[in-house]
Amino acid sequence: MAAASPIIALIASGLALVGAGGAFLGLLEPLQGFYTFASGALFGGLFATIVALIGIFLTRGGADPDGRMKALMALSLSLGLLILVLAAGAPGSDAPPINDITTDLANPPAFADADLVPDYRGRDMGYPAEFVDIVAKNYPELAPVTLAEAPTAAFERAAGAAEALGWEVVAKDGGALAFYARDTSTIFRFVDDIVVRIQPTAGGSKIDMRSKSRDGKSDLGANAKRIRAFFAELES
């Protein structure tokens, strides 16, 4: 057990590295990379921890100091993997299992036709009706922002804020006063689609936003966080 534990820990580490590295380099799809990483870091790390603990127990009393040292090293590595995956999943772990957030639940900003943004082709870009009550309950603070600027000026200001945050603006529709963007996560290269809509009001312009994940059923709160960051940048 003591001798096997570091091998198991190294295999688990290798799987985690393949998952993260493969997704980052585009060799694996984002979800494939994430699941490979999670399998190695979580399940592999847990198995390696159990084997290492058994190895430490079996080598108690100084009968096999070399084996005990291997088991201790394996325990350190496997616990590091578990801490890594738990730390990665902790932010937003209490978020509801949805992946499409908007500031206007009555009339969510619509994504463009696929002729304007080919990435939308073949995908259902409508807003899920079952998300409305969930967003209202879990994100009551998300609301449109009003600017004391003409709609065209607010449109340009909003597009500038999106670019300042590092989003890729893929299309603009000046007639509809809306633009479409995407934001890609650093490691696993998850892509979230974004639409920002500007509407004229008596006092200037109202700005709504919608952020939708392409992969997975839960966004771990990433889309709501993105909306908050955008509005903070817009009003700074």
What confidence score (pLDDT) does residue 94 get? Answer: 83
Which helix (H) or strand (E) segment is 205 a member of?
Answer: strand 204-213
> Backbone phi, then psi, for 124, in 5-degree steps?
-80, 110
Confidence of residue 134 (pLDDT cuts 50, 70, 90): very high
* Secondary structure letter of residue 112 according to DSSP: P
* Longest distance between any two alpha carbons in the chain, whole Å: 83
Confidence of residue 77 (pLDDT cuts 50, 70, 90): very high
The answer to which of 38-47, 144-153, 163-172 has the lowest mean pLDDT is 38-47
Mean pLDDT within 18-23: 95
What confidence score (pLDDT) does residue 159 get? Answer: 95
The residues with which 184 forms a beta bridge, in sequence order, are 191
Task: Please report, for the chain, the start and end positions of each structural domain, with discontinuous segments joined by +.
Answer: 4-89, 100-235
Rounded CA separation 15/4 (Å)? 17
Q: Which CATH number fits domain 100-235: 3.40.50.720, 3.40.50.2300, 3.30.530.50, 3.30.1240.10?
A: 3.30.530.50
What confidence score (pLDDT) does residue 170 get? Answer: 97
Mean pLDDT within 162-190: 95
117-125 contacts: CB < 8 A, separation 24 or more? 117/170, 117/171, 117/180, 119/170, 119/182, 119/193, 120/193, 123/214, 125/193, 125/212
- Beta strand extents in 49-152 (DSSP E only): 100-102, 145-147
What confidence score (pLDDT) does residue 132 get? Answer: 97
The rounded percent of the chain whose pLDDT value lies above 90 is 76
What confidence score (pLDDT) does residue 203 get? Answer: 85
Query: pLDDT at residue 89 above 80?
Result: no
Query: pLDDT at residue 79 above 80?
Result: yes
Which among 111, 106, 69, 233 is positioned nearest to 161, based on CA atoms? 233
